[in-house]
C-alpha cells in the first residue's frame, strides 16, 4: 500500500459538529476527500456532506458511537466497503481520532461510571479503533490524535478528562514508534478552550467564562473551531511529513 498523491482520504471521528466539522472543511478545501463519523447528529452530518461536495470533494458519513468498542469490527468492515464503493480505494491516508465528550467533576465527586465513560471514549476508543483500522491505513499515512490543553494545565473539575488526554499523548508516541516501519506518523493536536457546543457551550455561551479564559491567554481571546481545523490541515499537509511523535498545543498561549 502507498499513500495516494491525488485526492487523499481522511477519516475523522466525531466529524459532524464542532472541531471535527472544521477539520473536515479545512481538509476538503485543500483537496482531501472525507469519511467522517457521527453519533446522532444526522442533520448536521448531511449538511456537512453537502458543504464538502460544494468544495468539489467526496464525502461519506458513517454512524459510530466510540463508547461502544464492540461495534468497532463492524465499523471497520463498513469503512472498507465505503472505501471501495465511494472512493475506489482499499485504504485511506489520514486518521483523526477526534470524537469526545466532556466531564466536569472534582476527584471527590467523580463516580466510577463517569470514569469508565471518559476512559471508554477518550482512551479505549482511540486505542482500539486505531488498532482495528490499521490494515486500512495506507503505508506513509498519518494519525492525528486530539488531546487537550488540560493535559498540561490543571483546572478544578477536569482531573479525569485531563488524565485520559495525557494517556492519549503517551499512546501517540508509542504509535509513532511502532508504526514507523510503515512510515505512518502519529502526532497530537491539543486544543485550548474553544467556542463550540462542547460542555454545553460553556466557553461559547457564558460571557464570564469566555472573558476569564481570554484573560489567561497570551493572544487575548478564546479559540475558534477554525483555529483547530486549520492546525489539523497544516499537520496533514505534504510538507509536514517529517513531524512525528509531537504534541502541538493550539491554545493561543493559554495558561503560560
Task: State the greatest distance between any 2 C-alpha atoms of the chain, in Å, as a whole number.
Answer: 52
What are the start-end ranges of the E strands in the chain? 9-12, 33-38, 59-63, 92-97, 137-146, 185-191, 247-250
Q: Rounded to an integer, what distance in angstroms lies between the CA atom of residue 129 and that of residue 244?
A: 20
How would DSSP label each residue in 39-73?
A: SS-HHHHHHHHHHHHHTT--EEEEE--TT-GGGHH
Active-site choice (94, 119, 161, 174)? 161
Radius of gyration from C-alpha coordinates of the chain: 17
Q: What is the DSSP letter of 131?
A: H
How crowded is residue 107: how many other Cβ atoms within 10 Å of its Cβ?
A: 9
**β-bridge mates for residue 185, sequence order:** 142
For 67, half-sphere exposure in the C-beta direction (CA atoms, 13 angstrom radius) is: 11
Active site residue 119: no
Q: Rounded to an integer, what distance in angstroms lies between the CA atom of residue 254 and that of residue 219?
A: 8
Instruction: State whether the Cα torsion 202-205-209-215 is positive or negative.
Output: positive
CA distances from 176 to 119, 132, 155, 170, 202 (A): 21, 16, 29, 10, 34
Residues marked active site are found at 161
Amino acid at each position: 500500500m502507498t499513500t495516494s498523491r491525488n485526492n487523499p482520504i481522511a477519516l475523522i471521528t466525531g466529524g459532524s459538529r464542532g472541531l471535527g466539522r472544521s477539520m473536515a472543511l479545512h481538509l476538503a478545501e485543500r483537496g482531501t476527500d472525507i469519511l467522517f463519523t457521527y453519533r446522532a447528529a444526522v442533520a448536521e452530518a448531511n449538511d456537512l456532506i453537502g458543504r464538502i461536495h460544494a468544495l468539489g470533494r467526496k464525502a461519506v458519513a458513517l454512524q459510530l458511537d466510540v463508547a461502544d468498542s464492540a461495534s468497532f469490527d463492524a465499523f471497520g468492515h463498513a469503512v472498507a466497503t465505503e472505501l471501495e464503493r465511494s472512493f475506489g480505494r482499499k485504504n485511506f491516508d489520514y486518521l483523526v481520532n477526534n470524537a469526545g465528550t466532556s466531564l466536569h467533576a472534582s476527584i471527590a465527586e467523580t463516580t466510577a461510571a463517569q470514569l469508565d465513560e471518559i476512559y471508554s471514549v477518550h482512551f479505549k476508543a482511540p486505542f482500539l479503533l486505531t488498532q482495528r483500522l490499521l490494515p486500512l491505513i495506507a503505508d506513509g499515512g498519518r494519525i492525528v490524535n486530539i488531546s487537550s490543553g488540560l493535559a498540561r494545565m490543571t483546572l478544578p473539575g477536569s482531573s479525569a478528562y485531563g488524565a485520559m488526554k495525557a494517556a492519549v499523548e503517551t499512546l501517540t508516541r508509542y504509535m509513532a514508534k511502532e508504526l514507523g516501519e510503515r512510515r505512518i506518523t502519529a502526532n497530537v493536536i491539543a486544543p485550548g478552550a474553544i467556542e463550540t457546543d462542547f460542555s454545553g457551550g460553556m466557553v461559547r455561551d457564558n460571557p464570564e467564562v469566555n472573558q476569564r479564559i481570554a484573560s489567561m491567554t497570551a493572544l487575548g481571546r478564546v479559540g475558534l473551531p477554525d483555529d483547530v481545523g486549520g492546525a489539523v490541515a497544516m499537520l496533514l499537509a505534504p510538507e509536514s511529513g517529517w513531524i512525528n511523535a509531537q504534541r502541538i498545543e493550539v491554545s493561543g498561549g493559554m495558561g503560560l
